Amino acid sequence: MTPEAARDERTKETGSGEGPALPEDVRPRWTRKHLLGLEELSKDEIEVVLDTAERFREISTRSVKKVPALRGRVVVNLFFEASTRTRVSFGLAAQRLSADVVDFQKEGSSSEKGETLIDTAKNIEAMGVDVFVVRHEASGAPWNLARHLKTSVVNAGDGSHEHPTQGLLDIFTIRQAKGRVAGLEVAIVGDIAHSRVARSNIWGLLKLGAKVTVVGPSTLVPSRFRELGVAVSHDLDAVLPRVDVINMLRIQRERQAGMSFPSIREYSRLFGLTRARLKRAKPDISIMHPGPINRGVEIAPEVADGPSSLVLKQVESGLAVRMAVLYLVVGGKPAVRGAEDK
């Protein structure tokens, strides 16, 4: 079956009340044990996740929001960095798939506490775990874990490197709103240099055929990003009229201490999305923000809450995308693993 035919097949309604009727051919098109980053995924693999998420989204509209897909499986949220929405989103996603969920939170880097990340994870793994969802301040931490563990690893954000489920949910949201991704003009605005959300969005959007422009001050948007195939701009007003989607990243106030820009006020004046500035945009522009929002800094409150905003849609999409990811990475494997095979 060609990918196109497979997709048609998947979009047919099944009318089954048991749970999402998952397409038979998802398995051969998804063979990964981990989801670490979007750089390494193919276009086809990204579409498998989005299509699977499509089916799972429907579950959230039911009165009983649960399916037995991961019954008996254990998902551990291993968060070494503060996070509210990503952790809650993964937790709810796992619960809706009937998995058992354990939250593990630790402040600061593992090395400061004397135990290595690998030791921490191996100890938890020994209790029998199917998926680790990992958030860590160090770029590469999920890769390190994937190398040393037998369990599936899902990257929930590593340093400034990747945040693949955020990238996938942003793209899912765009596909929902616009009906397509290919050919769209997408701007990502903010601290691109330090943003894992930007990187995962760039990889995913480019693979699906969107045109991407990264926008922000020259100290936070290196011109070298052009080498990835995106356009680089330091002038938001020049970019606004041509974009279909604009993704406003959170500006981290602590970056200012690093002297990357003179003041929050100046940043806001140059790169903040205000109602006045929005008049330059296409009328059907979609506005996104991965949260949490600094209202009045990168985006004006009336814009964040306005009719063009997809911010809450993104949160909703996040649940469906994370259900799809958890389902795909553990699919087809024996339920009991861990302690006995060590």
Residues catalogued as catalytic: 85-86, 113, 135, 163
CB of 102 to another protein, least distance (A): 22
143 binds another protein (CB under 8 A): yes
The count of residues in the chain is 342
268 binds another protein (CB under 8 A): no
CB of 109 to another protein, least distance (A): 6
Residue 213, classed as helix, strand or coil, is strand
Site string for another protein, 24-43 (x = CB under 8 A): ---------------x----
Half-sphere exposure of 320 (CA within 13 A, CB side): 27
Segment contacting another protein (CB under 8 A): 89-97, 153-161, 183-191, 245-253?
A: 153-161
Q: Which residue has the tokens 């943003």?
A: 195
Query: Is cis: bond before 142, omega within 30 of 0?
Result: no
231 binds another protein (CB under 8 A): no
233 binds another protein (CB under 8 A): no
331 binds another protein (CB under 8 A): no
Residue 154, classed as helix, strand or coil, is strand
**Is 252 exposed, middle or buried, given 0-12, 13-18 or 19+ CB atoms closer than 10 A?**
middle
Site string for another protein, 282-311 (x = CB under 8 A): ------------------------------
Q: Which of 77, 86, 144, 286 binds another protein (CB under 8 A)?
A: 144
| Sheet strands side by side (includes 131-136) | 100-105, 74-79, 131-136, 152-158
Q: What is the DSSP letter of 153?
A: E
139 binds another protein (CB under 8 A): yes
CB nearer to another protein: pick between 22 and 202? 202
342 binds another protein (CB under 8 A): no
Q: Which of 45, 51, 81, 162 binds another protein (CB under 8 A)?
A: 162
> DSSP labels for 168-211?
HHHHHHHHHHHS--TT-EEEEES-GGG-HHHHHHHHHHHHTT-E
Task: Using CB under 8 A, list all residues that contact another protein.
Answer: 39, 109-111, 116-118, 136, 138-141, 143-144, 158-162, 193-194, 196, 199, 222, 224-225, 227-228
